[in-house]
Every structure is written in structure tokens, then in C-alpha cells.
Amino acid sequence: MRIAMVGSGALGLYYGALLQRGGNDVCFLLRRDYDAIRRDGLRVHSIHGDFYLPSVAGFRHSGEIGVVDLVVVGLKTWSNDRYHELVGPLVGPATMILTLQNGLGNEERLAELFGAHRLHGGVAYLCANRGEPGTVHHLGAGRIVLGALLAENADRAESLAELFRSVGVPCHGVDDIMRARWEKLVWNIPFNGLCALMQRSVGELLASPKVTETIRGIMAEVIAAANAQGLREPIPEVYAEEMIAFTRAMDPTYRPSMQLDRMEGRPLELEALLAKPLMAGKARGLALPLITALYALLDLS
């Protein structure tokens, strides 16, 4: 399969490297890593074993890649206004699009531009960071949950799940991708938000009983907001404890993407990760005081 990775941060580099190692023709749209990868290839340091790709197809512009079978979108959501420029040249009549971006609203915006029939949404539970240019560090996890935007395309979603499974990524399809998005927000809002605000790792947050209780409170609000959206199946309250246990099993020094963005002076994904979920919950009459406070503090910072 010919695949374009649009957004080659830690997520795009890691999954793209696995897809290439598995025999797919992968094209990476690159910025910071372009020179290093074109010159020296791509190195992956992983808990499952390191590997090296000496030759990688890296490009600066989508037009140089042309039409592909699958576009995997891993952009930061503050770049969504560039969808037409970055994704458009890659799309032909049979092209599928899979967005692995965080937060809400990504599938809908891509569908407006390129058609709902080709859209799939995915949620990646991946603990990875970029190292020096041309290097990505996989620190833990990595599973993907994905689904088609339109129910009639469930078979295509399953074929994409099989593609990822074939290269060693735990992946399964779901029939309600919006529920999967809210499940990820149960983790993303407290951990991305608090780590960015406090400049502490996930392990440092969980080492404090008081902060852990705050995390539980935020998770409870996210679950309440999710279940007010008319999901096909509600998210159980116990899911919060599952996410806390999942995080305790991570490398305690792990710093989520929003924390790294703030450290390096980049914009934060506040709209997709906090503002839109907050608006969705308040539209259903929920107060959500903890999420409201977290959003206000991050927006000020």
C-alpha cells in the first residue's frame, strides 16, 4: 500500500517506520527532520526492539508525493487550517484518510473538505517522543482504536486495523469512533492539561495523592460530558481507574505532547483537546468546573 504520513512528529515517525518496515511504500511529509532523514535514514528506539531504516522517502511538499492509497494525518490540531494544502494533493478517487489526531472535530473538518466516505478516525495510545533529528523514542504502549466516520464503511475500517496489526501494532476497529475519541479525552484532558500547566511528568503527578484525586475529578467530568452526547454505549465510571492504572504502567518520566509543546514555545492544542469537549458538555447543561478551570489557566499561560 502507498501511504503518506502527514505530520511526522513522534506519532507519525513511529507508525510510519513500522508501516515501512512491514513492506509498505511510505512517504513522510517532513519539516524539522527532513535533512537528517534524507541523509541518514530513520532510527527507532523502542521497548520492543530498536531498528533502523537506512532509506526513507521524505518530502517537503505534498505535491511532490502525489496521490496515495492512504493518508495518515498526525498533525497538531493547530495546523488544521492547512488540511487543504497538506492533504489535498494526496487524495485521489480511492484514497482513504485516517486521522490519528487528538481531540474533537478533526474527522468532521476533513469530511467537509474531502468527503465523509473516505474518512476514518483513530485514537492512538502511544507513549513516544522525538529525539535528535531522524530519531524517535518509543517509550510504551502503542495500540490504536479506529473506526469509519460512516457506518457503512466498517469493512474498510477493519481492513485498516488489519494493516496496522500486520506490522505489529495492536489495533481494533469500533463502530462508534466518537466514543473512542471521548475515551481518549478521559486521559488527554487531565494528563496533557496538568502536565503542561505544572511542567511535571505523568509520574510526578501520580506521586501526589492530592493531584491524583484532582485527576480523578477531571476524568469524572469528562466521562459525564461524554455520556451526555448520546453515545451508543456509555463510558463506565470505572474507566477512570483503568486510565490511571494505564498511566502508572508508563515510564514515569514521560511528558505528554502538550507539555513538550509548551516547553518548546509552540501553540497548544487547546481548542480540540479542551475547548470543544468543554462546549459539548456545557451544551448538555453540565457545569464541569474542573475542566473549566484547567482550560482557563492554560489559555492564560
Per-domain boundaries in the chain: 2-175, 179-300
76 among known catalytic residues? no
Average pLDDT rounded to a whole number, residues 263-282: 95
The Cα 75–Cα 139 span in angstroms is: 20
Q: Mean pLDDT across the chain, nearest whole number?
A: 95
> At 251, is the pLDDT very low, low, confident or very high (cuts 50, 70, 90)?
confident
In this prediction, residue 8 carries a pLDDT of: 87
User: Could you tell me which of 45, 89, 40 has the C-alpha nearest to residue 68?
Assistant: 89
> At 174, is the pLDDT very low, low, confident or very high (cuts 50, 70, 90)?
very high
**230: phi > 0 → left, psi -120 to 50 → alpha, else beta; which?**
left
Residue 6 to residues 202, 221, 233, 264: CA-CA distances in angstroms? Answer: 27, 32, 32, 21
Fold entry, domain 179-300: N-(1-d-carboxylethyl)-l-norvaline Dehydrogenase; domain 2 (1.10.1040)
The Cα 127–Cα 256 span in angstroms is: 8
Helix (H, G, I), strand (E, B) or coil at 146: strand
> At 279, is the pLDDT very low, low, confident or very high (cuts 50, 70, 90)?
very high
Query: Between residues 99 and 131, which one has the greater pLDDT?
Result: 99
Read off the pTM. Answer: 0.92
> At 72, is the pLDDT very low, low, confident or very high (cuts 50, 70, 90)?
very high
Catalytic residue of the set 76, 184, 210, 282: 184
pLDDT at 131 over 90: no
DSSP 285: T
pLDDT tens digit sequence for 49-69: 999 999 999 999 999 999 999
Contact 228, 284 (CB under 8 A): yes
Q: What angle do CA 145, 283, 123 make, to 5 degrees?
A: 10
pLDDT at 137 over 90: yes
Average pLDDT rounded to a whole number, residues 122-149: 92
User: Could you tell me which of 240, 262, 123, 146 has the C-alpha nearest to residue 187?
Assistant: 240
Helix (H, G, I), strand (E, B) or coil at 171: strand
Q: How many helices (H) and strands (E) does the chain have?
A: 13, 10
Contact 103, 271 (CB under 8 A): yes
163: cell is 494493516
97: cell is 484518510
Superfamily of domain 2-175: NAD(P)-binding Rossmann-like Domain (3.40.50.720)
pLDDT tens digit sequence for 223-243: 999 999 999 999 999 999 999
